[in-house]
Amino acid sequence: MNKAGAMGLAQISALSVRALIDLRAGTTPDAVYLLDPATGASTTYAQLRQNARAVAAAISQHGVPPGSKVAYAMTNGPDTACVVLGIIYGGHTATAINLVAGNDTIAYVLGHSGAKLAFVQPHTRETVERALETSEGNPVLMNAGHALFDTPEKGLELAAVSGSDDGLLMYTSGTTDRPKGVVLRQSSLLAGGMNAAIAHQLTPADRAMCVLPLYHINGLCVTVFGPLVSGGSVVMPPKFSVSTFWQIIRDHGCTWFSVVPTQISYLLHDTATDADDVRALDRLRFGRSASAPLAPEVQEAFEARFGVPIVETMGLTETAAQILSNPLPPGVRKIGSPGVAVGNEVIIADMLQQEVPRGTEGEVMVRGSNVMRVYLDNEEATSQALTADGWLRTGDLGRMDEDGYVFITGRLKELIIKGGENIAPREVDEALYAHPDVIEAAAFACACRNYGQRVEAGVAVREGASVTAQQLIELCHHKIGKFKSPDRIHFLAELPKGPSGKIQRRKLQEEFGG
């Protein structure tokens, strides 16, 4: 048995990312890690190590000191995975830029993170340059084309790294108007990959289909770090496409995939796909659903049509993705539950953060090596989220049954969860308030079959104003991006308020949320 095979998953997750890449390159150098379905090109573990070192060398040649934030603003593909892993390999903190977050958010992230360097592609450079016009940040932009991997290593001296060093900075929307920067250690990233590997029984023979962006914690930790930890491989198209999804799985022998409920719904309702062709994919073991609750009727209909078991899970950016998972068949999958704790501890707690009896509703809390270290430069938010004994308060309400399965019942706060992404209502409010005719604005969640939730908003405008709903929606598109923008605007004479004069979103949701 080789060194990697002899080393258990728990031992692997305690390594640094650099040490694990070196281990894979040293023990299974010719094994394929990444595949590009567009070109058929593959990247072995030996090539991964070479590419990672080239990225580290390029960063070093720009004089970026060890431990610095280095951003990546890239769409999916094997090159992107190599860049992200190369940043971490070099001892830097990979800083994710969400390309669909909207100009204001991208500008904030570039400034707040203090990134020294940002890797871009020709089709993403303009987005970053536009954001830098209003950002306090001033990173050097570097082209992440394939020539990057030819950077000579001459003179490269890598600083020592360990699993306790920071590896990733990823921003997530909170209940305030600004996103919070989640800082994850290198060991936390590997622990996140380990949790997926344990839950889904991943082996070197498994091959993932990655269709979630690598600026999303699910795409990165589950389908990049999961196979890295287990020694498997990843097929990585540039984006999710209903028309090519099953063909890529067939052509490249994928054994599993990870998607969000919206994508499951799109696949289910695709009439062009022959269900018998999907049923004939004998290497495909399961599909994985995460990032938002999966409607039971959608899960049941999908499995009935395609014969592919869907394993519902739950994770957060703050926990390097997965904290809960249903078991694989023939284990018991409880429809409507994201499963049981795997690789970390999960409890349901009361307002004093004390565990409550089974069946009692409370806040979902998690503790483990996958939990974030801190919110960047936000001591208040960090102290509110992390308890003195290491528990993370997720903000989700739920209950746990006698078998340890968790059922999510709501949110402690007012986040809108659309397609697995958190949207802060206040961020939408402020985009609407940017219009001079808007007097009051409040965004809220409405039930949506495709996305789980969608964004709508109530507004009150000045008397005699001629602004239309479409104009306000387009303003939001410009300010915060189309994804976060309201689908519908409700014009009201006055928004509902409580005794203190605070606008009550809940009443808007009760009236219009459906």
Q: What tens digit of pLDDT does each residue of 312-331 get? A: 999 999 999 999 999 999 99
pLDDT, residue 1, reads: 33
Is 298 strand, coil or helix? helix
pLDDT, residue 131, reads: 96
DSSP assignment, residue 464?
Answer: T
Check pLDDT > 90 for residue 251: yes
Check pLDDT > 50 for residue 102: yes
Confidence tier at 175 by pLDDT (50, 70, 90)? very low
513 or 275, which is more confident: 275
Check pLDDT > 50 for residue 371: yes
- Measured CA to CA, the distance from residue 208 to residue 226 in angstroms comes to 9
Average pLDDT over residues 200-226: 96
- Measured CA to CA, the distance from residue 342 to residue 345 in angstroms comes to 8
Q: Could you tell me if residue 255 is left (phi over 0), alpha (psi between -120 and 50 degrees) or otherwise beta? A: alpha
Confidence tier at 501 by pLDDT (50, 70, 90)? low
Residue 5 buriedness (CB in 10 A; 0-12 / 13-18 / 19+): exposed
Least confident range of 187-196, 339-348, 448-457, 502-511: 502-511
Percent of the chain with pLDDT over 70: 95
Q: What is the mean pLDDT of the chain?
A: 92
Confidence tier at 277 by pLDDT (50, 70, 90)? very high
Average pLDDT over residues 445-449: 90
How far does CA 393 lie from the centroid of its chain? 18
pLDDT tens digits for range 481-490: 999 999 999 9
Check pLDDT > 60 for residue 132: yes
454 or 412, which is more confident: 454
Residue environment code for 423-462, b if the CB has 16+ CB neighbours within 10 A, otherwise e: bbbbbbbbbbbbbeebebbbbbbbebebbbbbbbbbbbbe
pLDDT, residue 273, reads: 95
Average pLDDT over residues 430-445: 89
pLDDT, residue 425, reads: 83
Sorted by where each starts, the structural domains of the chain and their CATH numbers stand as 17-400 (3.40.50.12780), 423-512 (3.30.300.30)
Q: Is the dihedral of CA 491, 494, 497, 503 positive or negative?
A: positive
Average pLDDT over residues 101-115: 94
Cβ count within 10 A of residue 466: 7
Average pLDDT over residues 13-40: 95
Check pLDDT > 70 for residue 405: yes
Check pLDDT > 90 for residue 417: no
